[in-house]
Amino acid sequence: MNIRGDHQLTERQRLLARFTRWTSSNLPVTPYGNGIRNGDPYSPEHFVTTQAVLADTWVLNPTQILDVRAGVTRWYYTRIPGSLGTDEATLGFPSYFSQIPVLNGLVPSTTIPGISIASPTLNTISTGLLLGRDMTYALTPTFTWIKGRHAIKFGAEFHRNDLNYFQNNNPGGTFSFDNLFTAATNTGGASGSGMASFLLGLSNNSSLVQTSLFTYAQLYYQGYFVTDTWQASNKLTVTAGVRWEIPGVYNERYNRQAVFNATEQNPALKGVLVNGNPVVGAFDLVGTPLHPENGLNPEHYGLVAPRVGVAYRWSDRTVIRAGGGVFFIPSNVQFSQGPYGNAADYYNNAQNATIDSSVTYATTLSNPFPTGLLAAAGRNPSYQSNLLGGSLGGKGQLRYENAGFTYQWNLTLQHQFQHDIALEAGYSGLRGIHLPLGLQFNQLDPKYLAQGSALKNQVANPFYGIVSTGTLSAKTVQAGQLLLPFPQYQSLTDPGNYSGDSTYHALQVKAEKRFGAAGGILLGSYTFSKILANVETLTSWLDSGTGVAGYQNVYNMRAEKALSSFDSRQRLTISYVYDLPFGKGRTFLGSVSGFADRFVSGWGINGVTTFQKGFPLGITATPNNTGFNTGLRPNVVAGCDKNIGGSAQSKLLQWFNTACFTTPAIYTFGNEARTDPSLRGPGIANYDFAVFKNTAITESVKVEFRAEAFNLFNRVQFGSPNLGQTTAANNLFGQITTQQNSPRLMQLALRLRF
């Protein structure tokens, strides 16, 4: 719903007011009618966005204009699992599972548990519980001053963002079962069964129950800018400006945030020595002497971004344009900069299923957490101790993070040919500096891999009696654990570490043909580009069409720079709108009248056709028996041709030559790049098409009819092949088993305009 009003207050002052409300709901899928809901993949979701804007434009005099705009946007969001409110103690779990809502501080907040079984694969429905209310208040004043050949604009932007948010991806817990406990050896291979492990209640160490807090965040943004558009001559226009950004830092109402200090001696482990050294690495709460700021990071005040653009009219039909500038990354670009997911705000109760890599079990599904479940600590003094022994993925935010930014530049030539044909050719480039990426701080230094199997020998655990959960609560621990940079934690990831780097170059060509009086336009756009990066998307759960391999060795990030998983090397898009030449006054049947005129006149077509090369593939090697937070990619057989010819349908069971990849020897890394330079997934060849008709009933009443088809020819776009290279006999390596797009969708529409 959109409502807008304009009012001419005086001959120099004009007011504008607008109200918008947008609602969207994903309907639940309940195939068995038992209240268990599922969707694609997080249904049912409900969004309500409400926005109000008020603008005042005041012409002070013929050369000065003041414009002030104020707005507020409210985004309300829920994701409610169908089994919300389930008391898991009634399902046979221990009684302490009934206390999960109390630990979350939110009732109800539990569901049936998620069960994940590998070999054979079986997954129960598991949907997260999400509640959010995002309020954004904005004020944007600008002042334009025209002085001679200069049009100077001064302005500012002020935003206040309030974000109240709760998320628990595992409100009932997630329990995973693989074939290792029931295999002939604990390295798995083709033996063993995940289903057998499930029937025995032998879940693995990836099983967990998450507890979360409802967070209340606030961020203030400021931006100040000035720009000058200078008409240097009748042919040359130069636009230059500068913007000062103060991006803001999220604060949480109750200061329930903590940052990781890599050099601080851990206060909960004073007196404990590992390999003869004190244990460093601890978390500092905000608003304390060790971290005086109330946000995760100190504010950045020195972010100045210059921009310049030049347009030169070579002739009446030819224009050259060039531009460049610096652009800083907003501070709210990723979840990890807000309180949600912080070490103080959610806690993963990890099951200590085995302490010896699935040789023997330590706990079973009947009592997975013998010492009970812990809540997120908030500002409770126990937070430091509670985090010990944890798998802290996404919790290792640092106090001092770089400000991410990009350099962007372009050069374009535009020419107008005869017969309403325009051609544009350009080059565009971008360099990303300090881009956010998830970086594992607790990976074993490769220099220790030479110790081989001795890394998994059980040795005395210096944390025994101090750590209360996980494998570090046992009397013994694997030797490799004590060689980690921060041995008091299982894993430790900074989800937004600003150390990524990217480079983009592109040739862009656009051709346009207008049909003049006949009515219509034909537009073709072609891009030839290349992206190199050691960083990928921040929303990997949404970007399933690519094959992204994780980092193998974070100690050598230069070797992790490769083709981006979003490197769409070639893309061609053709779009068109054309009024068919039939009816009164047109080329064909131009003399018709009456009912015949209304029947044959007003027809037209439009559509979009897209062709695109597939994305690069990132191949991993499994199982990764090296462990200790290292990644693993395969070795490439020298001289082996990886590509297989033929149609996509003929290659579904072997998209590429899988014999070209071998599993590295244990405790060694593979030589495959993060994405393979010669292998790509299936591309895109899609046709969307529509037929429309406009019919005039009277001079003021018109009817518009549309028949639309998306994926007109019902072509399948296959998903990425399975990219986990493995020695198991029943693996799907190299096979395509998914479809990326939707089947043909047709719809009819009728609109009455009066």
Q: What number of other Cβ atoms are within 10 A of residue 473's Cβ?
A: 21
319 has a pLDDT exceeding 70: yes
CB atoms within 10 A of CB 25: 12
Which amino acid appears at position 219 of this protein?
A: L
Evaluate the omega torsion of the peptide bond into residue 41 and state whether it is cis, within 30 degrees of 0.
Answer: yes
pLDDT attached to residue 593: 80
Rg (CA), the chain: 30
Give pLDDT, residue 34: 64
SS3 231: strand
416 by Cβ neighbours in 10 Å (0-12 / 13-18 / 19+) ranks as middle
pLDDT in tens, 527-547: 999 999 999 887 777 775 566
Both tokens assigned to 149: 């050949």
* Cα-to-chain-centroid distance, residue 42: 15
In angstroms, the CA 345 to CA 672 distance is 38
Phi-psi region at 373: left, alpha or beta (left = phi > 0; alpha = psi -120 to 50)? beta
Average pLDDT over residues 103-128: 82
Rounded to two decimals, the pTM is 0.87
- The one-letter amino acid code at 647 reads S
Tell me the pLDDT band of 31, cut-offs 50, 70 and 90: low
Greatest CA separation found in the chain?
Answer: 99
Q: What is the mean pLDDT of residues 157-183?
A: 91
- The confidence score (pLDDT) of residue 118 equals 80
Each residue of 656-684: pLDDT tens digit? 999 999 989 989 999 999 999 999 999 99
pLDDT in tens, 604-633: 999 999 999 999 999 998 778 888 999 999
What 3-state class would DSSP assign to 658?
helix
> pLDDT tens for residues 570-580?
999 999 999 99
Q: In the predicted model, what is the mean pLDDT of the chain? A: 90
Highest mean pLDDT of the ranges 117-126, 329-338, 356-365: 356-365
Neighbouring C-beta atoms of residue 349, cutoff 10 Å? 24
Q: In three state form, how does the secondary structure of 546-579 look?
A: CECCCCCCCCCHHHHCEECCCCCCEEEEEEEEEE
SS (H, E, C) 682-746: CCEEEEEEEEEEEEECCCCCEEEEEEEEECCCCCCCECCCCCEEECCCCCCCCCCCCECCCCCEE
Sheet holding 346-350, edge to edge: 122-123, 114-117, 174-177, 208-212, 346-350
Residue 236 pLDDT: 97
CA distance 130 to 166: 6
Torsion of CA 488, 493, 494, 496, to 10 degrees: -170
Residues 25 and 333: their CA atoms lie apart, in Å, by 24
pLDDT at 635 over 90: yes
Coil, helix or strand at residue 23: strand
Tokens of 99: 């206390």
Q: Which residues contact 205 (CB under 8 A, 6 or more apart)?
A: 350, 351, 352, 353, 354, 471
Say which amino acid occupies 60: L
Give the Cα separation of 85 and 63 in Å (integer).
64
| Phi, psi dihedral angles at 66 (to 5 degrees) | -110, 130
425-435 residues labelled b (16+ CB within 10 A) or e (exposed): ebebebebbbb
Closest of 696, 752, 692 to residue 520, by C-alpha: 692
| Listed residue (695, 504, 722) closest to 618, CA to CA | 722
Residue in 135, 7, 165 with CA at minimum distance from that of residue 71: 135
Flag whether pLDDT at 39 surpasses 50: no
**Residue 696: what pLDDT?**
84
Residue 233 has pLDDT above 70, yes or no: yes
Mode of pairing for the β-strands spanning 491-514 and 391-392: parallel
- Token pair of 304 as six digits: 């100045």
Our CA dihedral for 588, 594, 595, 601, rounded to 10 degrees, sits at: 30
